[in-house]
Chains A and B, each alone.
Chain A
């Protein structure tokens, strides 16, 4: 017992620093979790702060006269006339009317630069939609150029960014702002236009449709094949070297860097099968090959979670293996399989690297209408905009990221919902 007492003394004396170590260790854990959460917070707040402006665009009020002579149009049915007509003169004359003092050519050019380059097209579309306007004049809000947009938004925040504007331009803008002729409007263009070189004209509709087409194809290809492979491996495969090899293969494919799938697509689909670049078909093929292992793995997990008693009951009734799988195992495993498929699709939706290899980085202003028209996808659009030098594209990029993230969040929430709702606990 004396031995024991000696021990006790030692233990008691060691306790102070041991508890200190305990506390330090615990704090390390708290700090680690906090750092992780802080990263989430920083990422989201950074993107929201950078991107929230993109949902609004600066518009300026002018009186536009649809002057027949200026345009040189007398017949709307004549396409040739419509093409030749000087649409830009519509807004240029309106600007000149407002700022009659501007005389010099260079100054005029700066003046015209206040409104977006695409204004001529916008006015053309407006006139064509409503031909009665010809010869009339109306007071209308015109979309401002991206530099003006940046200026106005920073002005509203209290610290106007004028580095890209001339003194004259600032003066004109102050004049417009002073007479309440500048305002922010909801930026509908962002949601229903394709890409553009002009930040204020650029929208994400083309990329969203491209993503949708690509994903549909990915789903059509990878979902049935993935389920079939999972069923084979779980329910029919004999346990031998060959099936083990397949298993190892699938597990490794799931961890292969995505860029390798881009190389595969380039070498096999484009170079060997001569599928054209940049179209949703090739994107869908590559993403399908990439998501297939994920879908197989999650489907297998869902199938294994169906208890053997169900299988035995079915077989005991004299069902064949196929009937057992089709009538019992598959319906019970379906919620898990669907959850896996949604998560796989979410990954495919966010994937960028392999698509760069297969030409989906091209600048495409048109909104794709089918699987075989050149298209880009949302993450690649983000990449392209992030690479653009114009300051205004930062805002657009962040906004596009918000759109992408909201799609992803939606998909993940639905996966969680599906799991909670439909999955059985055995």
Chain B
């Protein structure tokens, strides 16, 4: 019996439990003449019984599924004779996989040793046993829960409160999932990074000037330590981001100012959503645009001026990234500019300031914290942006500040290092997590600061 069969049976049982609990309460209500004499509505007694029936059994089911496979494999491996049991853990895992494959039938049994075949048989038997055991225990628990829950049903029993409490705990658990996600990110990235820093010292990574991880594929190769100096990547990321911000900040800010302060209602009604289309376009599309349209165009343009522009120049990737970020900045800036009270503008206009003087000297300074926060969020976007740079910028880690050269970025390297199959014990793959850690820390700091500033700004004018 498969786990999902058990699950559906369990759901069925819970539905049954609902009707039984509800029926019992109606019976009691009948004796007391009317459901008004019950503490809660009959449905709540039903829910209560169903929860008792379904919830503990469901938890057990989940637990069983998680524990099931590792335990069975451990038992099988334990029962293997000592001489076939390998000493190191990697081969141990490989052997376990082999037995597993034999048992499932992916690996034909022909030509395998007797020991392994019998182990595979044992594995199959145990799995079978475990499945039935799971079904039996889970369903038993469900039935016990049903009886137990139903036995509570009584006129004075506060079923509604109990059910609502459970619902609230469930809601709380969902809210906590966000914490677990963050925790998951931090732990996974941190753990793998620490592994990495065991083989490469932190200062070599953060301060090193040379990045060539591809030399370190196998541990026994010469020069296996590779070189993991991430400075070229940081510089590359910075360069692309700076180019992007050089385009996005002026254009985004000025268009926000124009749309919020000058444009009449109908222009605003069309131009604002039209600009926001840019925000909805997937980054892979921008990447394609950057790599196949903008980069060749810039290269040809450079040639006509006698400049040598790399076909994977930081300029192309940065420019397109800037275009992507325009709506981001313009909508954030628009929000804060419109949040500046009209009284400020009136005060300035009544002094005889022109509209642009009012905007430049009163509105922008008043909105500045919000605008700065918006730019910080945009920067965090730019350095975390992946697809545009993966498609339009290079792989080679050049330490340069020339935007016409090809550079590589942190995100490009993460993707390059982790695409395809990889083992989790080489510094090459672990380096990606260390880069991820850097990226996470920097964006997190930018986000936290920016969100705080925005929050303060809003409070100021509310």
Contact = CB atoms under 8 A, between A and B. Distances in A.
- 8 pairs of A and B residues whose beta carbons are closest in the complex: A257-B384, A29-B258, A350-B282, A267-B188, A32-B254, A232-B171, A228-B174, A25-B356
Contacts of A351: 282
23 contacts: A21-B357, A25-B360, A28-B254, A33-B254, A33-B271, A36-B252, A36-B255, A39-B278, A40-B275, A43-B323, A229-B175, A231-B171, A245-B179, A255-B380, A257-B386, A264-B188, A264-B189, A267-B192, A350-B285, A352-B387, A361-B420, A386-B284, A408-B280
A275 interface: no
Nearest to B417: A357
Interface stretch (A177-185, A187-195, A246-254): A246-254
Contact of B432 (A18, A263, A264): A263
B356 A259 contact: no
A35 B251 contact: yes
Nearest to A25: B356
A259 B175 contact: no
A249 B179 contact: yes
Contact of B188 (A37, A224, A268): A268
Interface string B275-305: 1011011111111110111000000000000
A406 interface: no
A266 B258 contact: no
B255 A32 contact: yes
A246 B176 contact: yes
A361 B391 CA distance: 14
B164 A321 contact: yes
A47 B160 CA distance: 58
Nearest to B267: A33
Given A33-B255, A36-B251, A383-B387, A260 B440 contact: yes
B171 A18 contact: no
A60 to B, nearest CB: 29
B258 A252 contact: no
B326 A39 contact: yes
Given A25-B360, A383-B284, 4 more contacts: A32-B254, A255-B381, A386-B292, A387-B391
A359 B289 CA distance: 24
B235 interface: no
Nearest to B380: A255
Contacts of A289: 181, 184
Given A255-B380, A267-B189, A383 B391 contact: yes
A252 B418 contact: no
A33 B263 CA distance: 10
Interface string A246-288: 1011111101111111111011100110000000000000000
Contacts of A249: 178-179, 182
If over half of B's interface residues share one DSSP class (helix, strand or loop), that class is named, otherwise mixed; here it is helix
B168 interface: yes
A353 B326 contact: no
A26 B436 contact: no
Contact of A36 (B293, B327, B355): B327
Interface string B304-343: 0000000000000000000100110010000000000000
Interface in B134-187: 160, 164, 167-168, 170-172, 174-179, 181-182, 184-185
Contact of B189 (A225, A260, A322, A361): A260
Contacts of B258: 26, 28-30, 32-33
A226 B182 CA distance: 15
A266 B171 contact: no
A397 B289 CA distance: 11
Given A232-B172, A352-B283, A259 B289 contact: no
B189 to A, nearest CB: 6
A322 B167 contact: yes
B284 A267 contact: no
Contacts of B432: 263
Given A43-B289, A248-B448, A264-B188, A292 B436 contact: no
Contact of B284 (A229, A237, A382): A382
A346 interface: yes
B175 A246 contact: yes
A398 B176 CA distance: 41
A11 interface: yes
